[in-house]
Amino acid sequence: MFRAATVSALAVLLLFLCGIVISLLTYTNWGSLFSAISSLEIRFAIGLSLATATVSTIISMIIAIPVAYAISKNEFFGKSLADTLLDLPIVISPIAIGAALLIFFSTPLGSAINNNFINFVFSVPGIILAQFTVTSALAIRLLKSTFDSIDIRYEQVGRTLGCNKPQAFFRIILPLARDGLIAGGILTWSRAIGEYGASVTLAGAMAMKTETLPIAISLSLLNADIEKAIAIIFILVIIAVISLLILRKITRKSYRL
């Protein structure tokens, strides 16, 4: 009975997801779909999404690697509080994060940064900042799990063989964490591609300027252009499937090792 209950829950969820995909397929006019995909606006949204997600992921990973290692391998006063604060972007609504960023750039310090260094409000750098704010917490959590799984004795052995702390980190810890780093980067990038709430709040929803794929869906629905919205949804689904297939391949390889 337990097996039947668990399999039934799986079947219900799969039927629900399949029903959503089938509804999209049956609703779609394929001629209009391909015409929408080839439009200049959607090609702009694809390029902007790929570019901003890649930049924000690189920044997130550069920050997340040392932060996750520090949280994983060190004990210090206030560690529990710091660990909790790092998780806030995961549990807080992205729209709330975007609003908080927008309010920050209304303060004297934020205005000075926005006016004299980099313009974040209603511009492409704002998309990157919003994506980074949302995805950095996910990257840190994923990489912390990776570093937690690496036995500290590997680093200790390296230290006894003459490595200092940085050498042990770069020569021993990072190679051991390679698959986890790649998987974390893929998931972070995928999350950045789909980020909407914080981006639209901070950078706005301006066609051909701050129009990422999720924002393009919103604009298409507001203009009652259902075919274009469905075309963008299919693009996001394809990107997600490719990312997940790569992730599954890396995961299976890790398990075999």
**Residues contacting residue 219 through CB under 8 Å, at least 6 positions apart:** 205, 207, 211
Summarised one tens digit per residue, pLDDT across range 76-118 is 888 888 888 888 888 889 999 999 999 999 999 999 998 888 8
What does pLDDT average to over the chain? Answer: 87
Quickly list DSSP for 190-254. Answer: HHHHT--HHHHHHH---TTTS--HHHHHHHHHHTT-HHHHHHHHHHHHHHHHHHHHHHHHHHHHH
Q: Is the dihedral of CA 39, 43, 48, 50 positive or negative?
A: positive
Tell me what pLDDT residue 255 has.
47
Task: In whole angstroms, give the CA distance from residue 60 to residue 62.
Answer: 6
- Confidence grade of residue 178 (pLDDT, cut at 50, 70, 90): confident
Asked if pLDDT for residue 254 goes beyond 70, the answer is no
| Range among 26-35, 136-145, 154-163 with highest mean pLDDT value | 136-145
Look at 55 and 241; give whichever has higher pLDDT.
Answer: 55
> In the numeric block, which tokens belong to residue 43?
């090609």
Mean pLDDT value across residues 210-230: 88
**Residues contacting residue 149 through CB under 8 Å, at least 6 positions apart:** 180
pTM of the predicted structure, to 2 decimals: 0.88
Task: In whole angstroms, give the CA distance from residue 218 to residue 238.
Answer: 19
Residues in the chain: 257
